[in-house]
């Protein structure tokens, strides 16, 4: 009988169905990051990135680690959830 392939958590599977979420998660894996920092790196609109980061947070793939005041707005800074790193 052939070995059974390793399964992936369904939250992570859903997160990885979108290319922008893949890229955002990859950048957050490199270190803590905010939607603004991710949008700057990818050259995309911050609102689009913020939407996908919010999805990653709702799926519990990332965790809020800090908030900072930036020009009258609050910047949210995230890191990858430990369970995601264990999926590698």
Segment 33-79, tens digit of pLDDT:
999 999 999 999 999 999 999 999 999 999 999 999 988 889 999 99
Q: How far is CA 30 from CA 5, 19, 26, 40, 78, in A?
A: 27, 17, 7, 15, 11
Q: How far is CA 1 from CA 6, 8, 20, 29, in A?
A: 15, 21, 38, 36
Q: How would residue 88 be classed by pLDDT, with cut points 50, 70 and 90?
A: low
pTM recorded for the entire structure: 0.83
CB proximity list for 85: less than 8 A, separation 6 or greater: 29
Domains within the chain, CATH numbers bracketed = 16-86 (1.10.10.10)
Q: What is the pLDDT of residue 77?
A: 96
């Amino acid at each position: 009988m052939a070995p059974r392939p390793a399964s992936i958590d369904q939250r992570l599977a859903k997160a990885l169905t979108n290319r922008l979420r893949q890229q955002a998660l990859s950048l957050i894996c490199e270190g803590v990051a905010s939607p603004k920092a991710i949008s700057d790196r990818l050259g995309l609109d911050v609102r689009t990135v913020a939407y996908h980061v919010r999805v990653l947070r709702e799926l519990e793939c990332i965790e809020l680690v800090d908030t900072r005041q930036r020009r009258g707005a609050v910047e949210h800074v995230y890191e990858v959830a430990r369970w995601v790193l264990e999926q590698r």
